[in-house]
Structure 1
Amino acid sequence: MATRSDIDGYVIAPDPDKTGLARTVSSTNHLGETSEVSVVEERPLTIYLNRQEIVTAMTIGDYPQYLALGFLRNQGMLSPDDQVTAVDYDEEVATVVVRTEVETNHEDKLKRKTRTSGCAVGTVFGDMMAGLEGLTLPQAVVHTSWLYTLAERINRTPSLYLSAGAIHGTVLCGRDQPLVYMEDVGRHNAVDKVAGWMRAEGVNGADKILYTTGRLTSEMVIKCAIMGIPVLVSRSGFTAWGVEIARDVGLTVIGRLRGKRFECLSGAERLIWDADT
């Protein structure tokens, strides 16, 4: 899978010029003027686990293997102990098949799915919260100076969001360095791509920060916790249930990060105040 790592230390960075992610369409503005504007592409991707069809996601189409791996991991259909033998992507029929050493069957889980407040792939299965049982997140710290540096670097990184809009971003960070920046039409897709990359590369989340442009809902909090990442940051706001779950599992949740302002609604004891505001 190709990566773009030539920007400010990123392992994977957005490539807004990549063919197929956006196209130009004609527009007429409020003054009656015509111009060409860039709009994000959206296409279906069907994910299989072995011989079983799991879900069809609407996605921009990049990193389909990571999206499939991360979705299955975050939905509890792919455990850390499952041996993945292949991840096959067929662009012509828009499918990804994740194959495991031991055959799986999730028919019961597929019957118990609940539509959430998310967009695109916003489906959380009824027993997804079971993945939080007995979960203990690492007691990592986060410096306020890291937050301000991350926000500035991420906001200045060339992206589809800046060139076309109508898209969400999620960034895996180490201290004050953004590492893996994924975008998609749904914030859940972007998170799942990060989770898929982490699983494929064997990356542990204990010392990481997850930054997202989307709001901090219950499902976003659950996914971050399942990924083993102790700190979740957003420039957007919160939902009450998201905050409640974060407090239950000991996840530090920071939202409304703009400039040098933020709100921490869970895990403030992890903050180290080392920046001049």
Structure 2
Amino acid sequence: MSEDHMFYTEELPVSILYPDGKRVSGEAEIVSEHNLTVLINEKAAYRLVCTKDNLKELVAGRLKTDGIIESAEDIYRIYFCKYENEASVFLNKEIAWEETLRSDLTCCTGNRVYAEGKRAGLKKLPPKKVCPEWVFALTEEFGKGTKIHDRTAGVHVCMLAREGEILFVSEDIGRHNAVDKVVGYALLNGISLNECMIFTSGRVPVDMVEKVIAAGIPVLVSKSVPTAESVKMAGEYGLVLICRAWPDKCEIFAG
């Protein structure tokens, strides 16, 4: 295994079974889980189960999609300990916390929130015209050159794009984390989120739609399917929601 992948995957023994009953011993490269505790202004805020890749982007993106920050200017510093299992975030403002423990019920990685900040109400997104060429160009490129998915098929992939141009690609065992990583990348690199679209491999439940609206991104595209609640919420807040996006067709549920 190359050094680039030593923290993301692990080679484990596997027994391969064939229809004729034959079994062959071998090894499989399996994606690893990483536990990350996030402190905000010295107070425990999150325990994230994630892929150990683009962690700074993950933290910044989560702060944005949870409504804790508006922009990168709200962050004074993000510091990681030696083994990157704890991140200390210092903000340029005080946060009012509610002393409650909340679970992210639809997050497939079992993330936990120890202190939930007071979140401003979601704002309706401005209208956004989407050219079909942009969407179908992304369907052709989706998943190409993904360093973890190519080796394990065990992570979600998310692309950040602007007018059909791919700006950043993230991978994570959690589809919510993958979205947060591209949001964080945009924040930390001065990219206007209201000019972008997101293309994700994951299903689109209502909390995923809420996350994208909170980030101010007007277009969400997925290879997978939405829920009835997510379609209704997308329509209410002006989010363009395109699902079952493949090179030959896609389905527009809102926008």
Corresponding residue to 1:241 among 222, 225, 229: 229
User: For 2:53 and 2:240, how far apart are their aligned partners in 1?
Assistant: 30
Q: Which runs of structure 2 are paired with 1:26-37 in the superposition (5 Å)?
A: 26-30=13-17, 31-37=22-28
Query: Cα distance, 1:251 vs. partner?
Result: 0.4
Question: For the structure 1 residues 210 and 201, does the alpha-carbon distance in structure 2 shift closer, same or farther, using more than 3 Å as the test?
Answer: same
- Please tell me whether the aligned partners of residues 194 and 218 of structure 2 are also in contact (alpha carbons under 8 angstroms): yes
Instruction: Sort the Cα spacing of 1:151 and 1:201 in 2 relative to 1 into closer, same or farther, 3 A.
Output: same
Q: Is 1:217–1:242's contact at 8 Å kept on the other side of the alignment? A: yes
Deviation at 1:102, TM superposition (A): 2.5
- Tell me if 1:131 matches 2:121: yes
SS of equivalent residue, structure 1 residue 78: coil
Shift of the 17–82 alpha-carbon distance from structure 1 to 2, 3 Å rule, reads closer
Match in the other structure for 2:29 = 38
Per-residue deviation, 1:130: 4.4
Quote the residue 2:212 is aligned against. 224
1:189 counterpart residue number: 177
Q: In the alignment, does 2:39 pair up with 1:62?
A: no
Per the alignment, residue 39 of structure 2 pairs with 48
Alpha-carbon distance between aligned partners in 1 of 2:74 and 2:132, rounded to the nearest angstrom = 39
1:141-182: CA deviations, max 9, x gaps? 112122111011123333312210221111101122221111
Q: How many residues are treated as equivalent by the alignment? A: 249
Judging changes above 3 Å, is the alpha-carbon distance between structure 1 residues 129 and 241 closer, same or farther for their aligned structure 2 residues? farther
8 A contact 2:162–2:195 mirrored in 1: yes
TM-score between the two structures when normalised by the length of structure 2:
0.89
In structure 1, what residue type is equivalent to 2:121? G
Deviation at 1:84, TM superposition (A): 1.5
Aligned pairs for 1:109-258 (under 5 A) are 111=100, 113-120=102-109, 130-132=120-122, 135-258=123-246
Q: After TM superposition, which residue ranges in structure 1, 4 or more long, deviate above 4 angstroms?
A: 121-130
Alpha carbons of 1:128 and 1:230: their partners in 2 closer, same or farther (altered >3 Å)?
Answer: farther
Q: Distance in 2 between matches of 1:93 and 1:258?
A: 36
CA gap of 1:166–1:54, structure 2 versus 1, over 3 A, is same
Q: Is this contact kept in 2: 1:67–1:196, CA < 8 A?
A: yes
Name the CA shift for 1:127/1:243 in 2 (closer, same or farther; >3 Å). farther
- In terms of mean alpha carbon deviation, does 248-257 or 137-146 score higher? 137-146
Contact 1:84 1:101 in 2 (8 A): yes
How much is the aligned-residue C-alpha RMSD, in angstroms?
Answer: 2.4
Change (3 A) 1:131 1:165: farther
Aligned match of 1:8: none
Q: Which of 2, 6, 9 is the equivalent residue of 1:22?
A: 9
SS in 1 for 2:213: helix
Whole-angstrom CA distance in 2 between matches of 1:32 and 1:94: 38
- Secondary structure of residue in 1 paired with 2:157: strand
1:5 is matched with none
* Distance (whole Å) between structure 1 residues aligned to residue 5 and residue 208 of structure 2: 27
% same residue? 26
Gaps of 5+ in 2: none
Confirm or deny: 8 A CA contact 2:29 2:152 kept in the other structure. Answer: yes
Measured after TM superposition, the shift of residue 215 of structure 1 is 0.5
Contact 1:64 1:89 in 2 (8 A): no
Task: Calculate the TM-score normalised by the size of structure 1.
Answer: 0.82
Distance change in 2, residues 1:186/1:93 (3 Å): closer
